[in-house]
Structure 1
Amino acid sequence: MKLVVVLMLSALPLSCYAGSGCQMLEDMIDKTIDPSVTEDQFLQGLEEFIPGDTMEQLLREFKQCFLDQSNRTLSNIKVMMDAIYDSRQCASY
């Protein structure tokens, strides 16, 4: 499960938008990784992008995957995201 989560997060900034000025995406990633943010708080920031109950339930499960991780794992994910933002591929953005 950890591998799936890491792959999903690593796919988000592939086009380097996250590290090049999309503050909303960066905030969403930070809230996803932050263990102090509850599922309800996480969904509050995404309300305008949730088309229905099915998507809401999927996002709850997605956030719960992160809540189930250790602080060390979450810290490593944050380091990985920072490395992606600072990568050579994103330097031109």
Structure 2
Amino acid sequence: MKLVMVLMLAALPLYCYAGSGCAYLEGVIKDIANPTISIEQFKNSLKEYIKDDATSNAVGEFKQCFLNQSNETLENFDAFMQVIYNSPGCVLF
């Protein structure tokens, strides 16, 4: 399952880099770090990419990892993502 999570993290920036739209990627990242969004709500936002139970379970575990974090950690994660988004040298975003 950890491998699936790593692959998901690697695939999202590639999706953006391919020209599909960074707004979608930013939305997924905001949803993953938002403690008010439940696992089911997160799965619903990605339902077009979830094709089987194994993927559904991986997405649920991925979201649960963020739900287990403190608000301070989630705020730091959001600040980190903002630095990446606004970085002039970053070609993925």
TM-score (structure 2 length as normaliser): 0.75
* Identity over aligned pairs, percent: 46
Call closer, same or farther: CA 1:9–1:26 in 2, change over 3 Å. Answer: same
Shift of the alpha carbon at 1:25? 1.1
What is the rounded CA distance, in whole Å, between the counterparts of 1:50 and 1:26 in structure 2? Answer: 19
Call closer, same or farther: CA 1:13–1:90 in 2, change over 3 Å. Answer: same
What is the rounded CA distance, in whole Å, between the counterparts of 2:52 and 2:67 in structure 1? Answer: 23
1:6-85 aligned at under 5 Å gives the runs 12-13=12-13, 17=17, 21-85=21-85
What is the rounded CA distance, in whole Å, between the counterparts of 1:78 and 1:9 in structure 2? Answer: 15
- Aligned position for 1:86: 86
What is the rounded CA distance, in whole Å, between the counterparts of 1:62 and 1:15 in structure 2? Answer: 18
What is the rounded CA distance, in whole Å, between the counterparts of 2:74 and 2:82 in structure 1? Answer: 13
Higher mean alpha-carbon deviation, 80-89 vs 64-73, is at 80-89
Give yes or no for contact 1:13–1:84 (8 Å, CA) kept in 2: no
Give aligned pairs, total: 83
Higher relative contact order (CA 8 A, sep 6+): 1
1:83 maps to a residue whose letter is: V
Shift of the alpha carbon at 1:46? 0.3
1:32 maps to a residue whose letter is: I
Give yes or no for contact 1:33–1:74 (8 Å, CA) kept in 2: yes
Unpaired segments ≥5 residues, structure 1: none
